[in-house]
Amino acid sequence: MSKTKVLLTGVTGYIGGSVLTRFLARSDAASFDFRVIVRSPEKAEQLRGFGVTPIVGSHNDESVMVPAASEVDVVIATADCDDLVAAKLTLKGLKKRFEQTKKPPIFINTSGTGVLMDDAKGMYASKTIYNDEDITQIETLPPSQPHRPVDLAIVAADQEGYIKSYLILPSTIYSIARGKLFDAGISHPYSQIIPGLIKLSVHRGQAGMVGEGKNMWPNVDIHDLADLYNTLYDSIINNPSTGHGREGFYFGENGEHSLLDIGKGIGQALSELGKAKSAEPSSFTKDEVAEYFGASGLFSIPVPVSMMGSNARCRANRPKAVGWKPSKTTADMLASIKPEADAAIEAMSKK
């Protein structure tokens, strides 16, 4: 019996490493031919040891991505969700696959709930809550929203009929990732937002927030999120009615929080560790915003401050309808801050 050929991108990262770890743990893992695109020849050799076929190169290099995508039944993309070049090259390869087999390949792409962001500036909690089963509501999102250009290109390809597309939109992801790829140093075990906020809070001596921190975001544990990819894949294979294309948006969330909640959690953790002058968070100043957001310095977060002050409220109704059963809640997210603070401070001490 032939194996199902699956190409994954972003496996050295936080989400991708978790997704591949989960798929390798399946009881039927031997029925898959896993292929991954990585930049590092060293990590490529390590991945071979896990029964994975590495392709050394970049996912936005046409000579790499198009042939790789043209040879597989499934692509699971977990790298840069705003890389339209990579998305178009993936689609080009998948279209070739369709022309060869006359069967639409599966494209599971990672987007994000940043597509829902507003301009609250941390001053209020929006009353708008997006429902991933409400297609009309999702289609009110303008093309100018973050991640939207990639999402729309993929949905358009589904409408043309040469792929079946499924978009997973993770929210604020938390927890230190576990598993053999992380133990081996292949994949990065930390998220961006909470660890980033912890580091810049240590730098400023106090937890911070945009405005009054009243804006609301959903959250999801990284291991629950990896289960969503696995559950969705099984639903795609076993249930032909699984929503795809316009009906293929799947929010990754299991609870929500205000940015003030995170600020208080970080403030308490740093106060206990003697790294903050107060357990209470304060608003970022104009100078701090310029220093900390959208930059690439030691104490910065690679997202615009407008996103950190925005609302992105939603409910993961579609994932739960296909069988996803996340177990971690907002309480677990807040409890994860202290271990994240310990890890962040230890890492900072080594630099």
DSSP string, 101-151: HSSPPEEEEE--GGGG----TTS---S--EETT-HHHHTTS-TTSTTHHHH
Q: For residue 253, which of 339, 320, 315, 346 has the smallest C-alpha distance?
A: 315
Between CA 227 and CA 102, with CA 139 as vertex, the angle to 5 degrees is 65
Q: Which residues contact 270 (CB under 8 A, 6 or more apart)?
A: 198, 201, 202, 206, 207, 276, 279, 341
Q: Return the pLDDT at 273.
A: 95
The predicted-structure confidence for 165-212, as pLDDT tens digits, reads as follows 999 999 999 999 999 999 999 999 999 999 999 999 999 999 999 999
Continuous segment of H or E residues that includes residue 18 = helix 14-24
Mode of pairing for the β-strands spanning 216-221 and 130-131: unpaired
Q: What is the pLDDT of residue 77?
A: 98
- State the Cα–Cα distance between residues 320 and 330, nearest whole angstrom: 17
- Say what the pLDDT of residue 302 is: 85
Predicted pLDDT of residue 301 = 86
First to last CA, the chain: 51
pLDDT of 246 reads 98
Instruction: Please check whether residue 69 is in contact with residue 7, taking contact to mean a CB–CB distance below 8 angstroms.
Output: yes
Residues lower than pLDDT 70 in the chain = 296-298
Instruction: Supply the pTM of this predicted model.
Output: 0.97
Contacts 24+ apart (CB under 8 A), 33-37: 33/3, 33/4, 33/5, 33/6, 34/6, 34/8, 35/5, 35/6, 35/7, 35/8, 35/68, 35/71, 35/72, 36/7, 36/8, 36/9, 36/11, 37/7, 37/8, 37/9, 37/64, 37/65, 37/68
What's the pLDDT score for residue 298?
A: 67
pLDDT at 247: 98
* Count of C-beta atoms within a 10 Å radius of residue 319: 28
For residue 265, the model assigns a pLDDT of: 98
Do the Cβ atoms of 193 and 301 come closer than 8 Å? Answer: yes
What is the per-residue pLDDT for 297?
67
Tokens 């962040």 locate to 344
- C-alpha–C-alpha distance, residues 146 and 312, integer Å: 12
